């Protein structure tokens, strides 16, 4: 986020000798506490204990953490430095072993460093094994900031393309947190809202609490409120009643993976909201970067759905609220079929209608996305998600 006086989710303060400041999301929504990371150990714990969460934000944190980990290792030559970088990356990767975006960011730093050992670009100097690594250090620092800046640019582009959908006085429903707290800036689903708000447009947001982990109440309601955007919180069971009351004009949610035909996996509950939107004639949009498309997956039936720990239901937030041994159905995601999705707002434009041929032709046509690269991108840049 970066609307008004709201602090940014994560940012680097100063030059290479500076430090990282992030919102400690474990303290939300009770209080806004900023966490300073001046060494890689503090960053490891911040990622581990979910002070920073959301795939893009974790990737940024990991990249910045790696810079913190190698910048103070004076006296090392090129190879000693590269060995140290490898150790730091392995260490950071262990903070959340299943976070794909974390590994993607660290791999990007590794590749950046490797450029100096075997440069393909004549402008990059080749550093011999015994060379001083200061130049690599600086390059890694720039790369970490670039990862953050690219994420911010993506969020702002989604915001710009999606913003015209937010009509003055309208009610917009969202689910989970695909917002600024998960990214460098505006998020994906919330980006059009921040963009419209920035243009002075007046509208109201309804945030579903998003059981079991309550990202809607803990995070989305908080960040919208901080930004001065009117928000009303509701339980997931109240969405049908709210739509029937006529107060919802538009639904926008994020996405975890979008199949080649447009079927979209997102936080559990999204599918039901899409069905309800259809029944009430309310347009339902997905907002996600183009890297979320997985063209190697033909349709939603091929997307594996993770089952979560039953205690996320039985012990919601501490006390036991169900028989301790009762069986639970607890999928992390569900799949919304393309036919229920009016459009997909990406950083390159809105894909509408959502059909296999339209997705394929548009992903091919966009000049800055090389042919056939979307599927490959997927493997290294997954989108938002806990």
From the list 330, 100, 321, 292, the residue with the least C-alpha distance to 211 is 330
Q: What is the DSSP letter of 117?
A: T
Least spacing, CB of residue 360 vs its own copies, in Å? 26
Binder among 68, 259, 276, 287 for its own copies (CB under 8 A): 276
Span interacting with its own copies, options 55-63, 134-142, 308-316, 358-366, rule CB under 8 A: 308-316
CA distance 305 to 38: 37
* Contact assessment for residue 113 and residue 86, using Cβ atoms and an 8 Å cutoff: no
C-alpha neighbours within 13 Å on the C-beta side of residue 377: 18
x/- track of binding to its own copies for residues 189-208 (CB under 8 A): -----------------x-x
Q: Which stretch binds its own copies (CB under 8 A): 87-95, 122-130, 274-282, 285-293?
A: 274-282
- Token pair, residue 227, equals 């930004």
Please tell me whether residue 59 binds its own copies under the rule CB under 8 A: no
Q: Does 76 help bind its own copies (rule: CB under 8 A)?
A: no
Which listed residue (71, 218, 342, 378) binds its own copies by CB under 8 A?
Answer: 218
Whether omega for the bond prior to residue 31 falls within 30 degrees of 0, making it cis, is no
Residue window 122-161: x/- pattern of binding to its own copies, with contact defined by CB under 8 A: ----------------------------------------
Work out which of 151, 209, 249, 386 binds its own copies, going by CB under 8 A.
209
By beta-carbon proximity to its own copies, the closer residue of 240 and 349 is: 240
**Which residue, among 242, 233, 229, has the nearest Cα to 199 in the 3D structure?**
229
Q: Is 256 a catalytic residue?
A: yes
- Nearest approach, Cβ of residue 170 and its own copies (Å): 16
DSSP, collapsed to helix, strand or coil, labels residue 252 as strand
Q: Rounded to the nearest whole angstrom, what is the least distance from the CB of residue 190 to its own copies in the complex?
A: 15
Distance CA 253, CA 274 (A): 10
Q: Any contact of residue 233 with its own copies (CB under 8 A)?
A: yes
**Tokens representing residue 364 in the block:** 């091919």
- Residue keyed to tokens 């029944």: 279
C-alpha to C-alpha distance for 108 and 371, rounded to whole angstroms? 21
Q: Which helix (H) or strand (E) holds 294?
A: strand 293-294
Which of 50, 76, 100, 275 touches its own copies (CB under 8 A)? Answer: 275
Instruction: Answer for the pair 24, 34: CB distance below 8 angstroms, yes or no.
Output: yes
Give the Cα-Cα-Cα angle 11, 159, 183 (nearest 5 degrees).
30
Annotated catalytic residue, options 151, 256, 294, 334: 256
Q: What would the two tokens of residue 337 be?
A: 């079929």
Q: Does 241 bind its own copies (CB under 8 A)?
A: yes
Give the binding range for its own copies (CB under 8 A) out of 14-22, 100-108, 152-160, 232-240: 232-240
Report the interface residues with its own copies, using CB under 8 A: 29-30, 206, 208-212, 214, 217-218, 221-222, 225, 230-242, 244, 268-269, 271-273, 275-276, 278-279, 310, 313-314, 316-324, 326-331, 334
Catalytic residues: 256
């Amino acid at each position: 986020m970066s609307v008004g006086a709201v602090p940014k989710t994560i940012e680097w303060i100063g030059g290479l000798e500076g430090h990282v400041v992030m919102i400690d999301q474990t303290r939300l929504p009770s209080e806004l506490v900023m966490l300073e990371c001046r060494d890689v150990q503090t960053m490891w714990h911040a990622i581990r204990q979910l002070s920073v969460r959301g795939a893009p934000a974790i990737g940024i944190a990991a990249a910045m953490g790696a810079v913190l980990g190698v910048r103070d290792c004076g006296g090392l030559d090129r190879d000693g430095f590269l060995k140290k970088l490898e150790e730091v990356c392995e260490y950071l990767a262990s903070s959340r072993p299943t976070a794909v975006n974390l590994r993607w960011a660290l791999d990007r730093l590794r590749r950046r460093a490797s450029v100096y050992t075997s440069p393909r670009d004549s402008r990059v100097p080749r550093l011999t094994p015994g060379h001083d690594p200061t130049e690599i250090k600086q390059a890694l620092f720039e790369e970490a900031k670039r990862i953050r800046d690219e994420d911010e640019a993506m969020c702002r582009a989604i915001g710009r393309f999606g913003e015209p959908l937010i009509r003055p006085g309208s009610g917009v429903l969202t689910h989970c947190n695909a917002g600024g707290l998960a990214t460098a800036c505006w998020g994906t689903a919330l980006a059009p809202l921040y963009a419209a708000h920035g243009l002075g447009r007046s509208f109201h947001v309804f945030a579903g609490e998003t059981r079991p982990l309550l990202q809607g109440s803990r995070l989305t309601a908080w960040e919208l409120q901080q930004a001065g955007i009117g928000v009303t919180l509701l339980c997931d069971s109240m969405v049908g009643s709210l739509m029937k009351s006529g107060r919802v004009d538009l639904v926008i949610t994020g996405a975890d993976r979008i199949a080649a035909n447009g079927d979209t996996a997102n936080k559990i509950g999204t599918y039901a909201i899409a069905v309800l939107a259809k029944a009430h004639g309310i347009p339902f949009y997905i907002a996600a970067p183009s890297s979320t498309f997985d063209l190697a997956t033909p349709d939603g039936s091929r997307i594996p759905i993770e089952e979560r720990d039953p205690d996320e239901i039985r012990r919601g937030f501490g006390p036991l609220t169900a028989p301790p041994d009762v069986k639970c159905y607890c999928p992390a995601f569900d799949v919304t079929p393309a036919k229920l999705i009016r459009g997909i707002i990406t950083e390159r434009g809105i894909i509408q209608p959502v059909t296999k041929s339209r997705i394929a032709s548009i992903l091919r046509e966009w000049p800055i996305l090389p042919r056939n690269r979307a599927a490959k991108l997927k493997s290294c840049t997954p989108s938002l998600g806990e």
